[in-house]
Amino acid sequence: MRKYILVKKIFNGYSFIKDNVLVVEDGIILGTQKGIDTGKDEIIDRRDFILSPGFVDKHTHGIGGVDFFDTTADDLKTIQNYYFKHGVTTVLPTIVSAPFENIYKLAKAIKEAKKDPNFKLNIPGIFLEGPFINPAKKGAHDERFLQRPTAEKLEELISNCEEKIIDIALAPELLENPIEFFSKAAEKGINISLGHTNSSFEQAAKAHLLGAKNIVHFFNAMPQLHHRQNSITTYALLSDIKVELICDLIHLSPEIIKLTYKLKGAENIILISDSIAATDLCDGEYSLGSLRVIVENGICKLSDNTIAGSTLTMDKAIKNLVKIGIRLEDALMAATYNPSKLFSLECAAIKEGFRADFVLMDENLNVKEVYARGELVYKA
C-alpha cells in the first residue's frame, strides 16, 4: 500500500524542497510531490511538521545501558528504541579498542538481531575505533588492547567477522607499509578514518591520498592547532577530508565549531554523538569498553579526568548547532546525507529508491514521529 505523508516542508538531505508530500511504498521512497488528492491509499496528515531523512549516527558506543563492547542480540533489539526516540534510524555500532573476540561477538549479535522482523534499526556495518591507534593519544581506550596496524591483522579481522566492518580508525604514523594496508581496506570496502593520532601534516596528507576519507572526532585525541607546528589538525582544515564533530558544547567550544564550519563548509562535516551506555540514563558509574566511567551532570570522564565519550544524542546535536548560529539545513545535512554519502548508503536522503527512513519534527526540532522502512517506530 502506498503512503502519502503530508507535511509542512521536506528536507531532502541537501536542502528544503518545494514539494510537501512524501510518497512511500513497501518501505521504499517513490518520490515527492506538491499537494495531494483525496482518496489516495493512505494519507498521513502531519502538515504541522518538518520531514527529514532519519539521522545517521556513525560513531556511537551505546545508549540506554548497553555498550557495544559486550552486546547481545537482545540488547540490540532493546536499544533500537532509544535511537529511534532521538530520530536515529541508521547506526554504525562503534567499539573501542578491544580483544578481537569482542568484535566478533558484536558482529554475531548484529547478525542475530537482523533475523527478527521487528528489528528495524539500519546497521550497515561496524566501526572499529581501535585497536590501531596511537597510545600517546589513546583517550578512553584500554592500552592493553592497542595493536600496530598491519594488512595481516586487518585480514584476520575481516575473515572472522560475521558482519561487515565498514570503518576503522587509524593513526597513520603507526603504519610500516601504508600502501599495503590501504589496498587491503579498499579491496574489502572498508573506509579508513584518521584519529587518536599524533600524525604530522605530511602523514595525514599521504593517508588521505591513499584513501582515508574522514577524521575521527576532530580536535579531540590529536595534536592541537599550533601556529608553527603543522599536524593532521592543520591538514584537516585546509583539505576536503571529512571531519566528525561532537557538538555537545563540551568536547568543542561554539567558536571552534563555527571556525570549522566556516573553513570546511557544511558538506565536509559529519555530526556524531560518541555516546556511551550512560546516554538517556541518570548520572552515575558506567563503563566504556573495559574502563570505568563516572558521569556527572551528563559529562563522562575516567578517574584521571579524561573525557570518555558523551551522553549526547543526535537530535540534541542538531539543536546545538542551530543554537550557535549554524543554518538548520546544514545541521541536518551533517546528520543525514553527509555520513550516508561517506559509505555510499542508500538511506538518509529523500530520494527515489532509497530506504523510507524519516523523522517528523516540530518547529522547535523536537522529534515527534520516526519511520523506518516506512513503518512508524516511534511516536512522542
DSSP 337: H
**Tens digits of per-residue pLDDT, 173-212?**
999 999 999 999 999 999 999 999 999 999 999 999 999 9
Helices (H), 201-360: 201-210, 232-238, 254-264, 314-323, 328-335, 337-342
Provide, rounded to the nearest whole percent, the portion of the chain with pLDDT above 70: 99
The annotated binding site is made up of 129, 140, 196, 217, 220-221, 228, 251, 307-309
Q: Are 6 and 36 in contact (CB under 8 A)?
A: yes
Provide, rounded to the nearest whole percent, the portion of the chain with pLDDT above 90: 97
**Tens digits of per-residue pLDDT, 203-245?**
999 999 999 999 999 999 999 999 999 999 999 999 999 999 9
Which residues, 6 or more positions from 319, have their beta carbon under 8 angstroms from its beta carbon?
365
**What are the structural domains, with CATH classification, of the chain?**
2-51+363-379 (2.30.40.10), 55-346 (3.20.20.140)
Give the three cell numbers for residue 352. Answer: 527515489
The annotated binding site for Zn(2+) is made up of 129, 196, 217
What's the pLDDT score for residue 314?
98
DSSP 69: T
What's the pLDDT score for residue 36?
84
What's the pLDDT score for residue 51?
98
What's the pLDDT score for residue 212?
98
| Residue 274 among the catalytic residues | yes
Distance (Å, whole) CA 327 – CA 262: 12
For all residues of the chain together, what is the average pLDDT?
96
Distance (Å, whole) CA 217 – CA 147: 20
- The number of beta carbons lying within 10 Å of the beta carbon of residue 60 is 26
Q: Are 193 and 216 in contact (CB under 8 A)?
A: yes
For the chain, the residue count is: 380
**Tens digits of per-residue pLDDT, 258-303?**
999 999 999 999 999 999 999 999 999 999 999 999 999 999 999 9
Distance (Å, whole) CA 318 – CA 229: 33
Cα–Cα nearest to 364, from 43, 6, 5, 8 = 8
- The number of beta carbons lying within 10 Å of the beta carbon of residue 86 is 24
The annotated binding site for substrate is made up of 140, 220-221, 228, 251, 307-309
Beta bridge pairs of residue 57? 91
Q: Residue 255, class by beta-carbon neighbours within 10 Å (0-12 exposed, 13-18 middle, 19+ buried)?
A: exposed
Distance (Å, whole) CA 39 – CA 219: 54
Distance (Å, whole) CA 163 – CA 109: 9
Q: Exactly one of 57, 274, 315, 357 is catalytic; name it.
A: 274
The β-bridge relationship of strands 165-170 and 191-194 is parallel
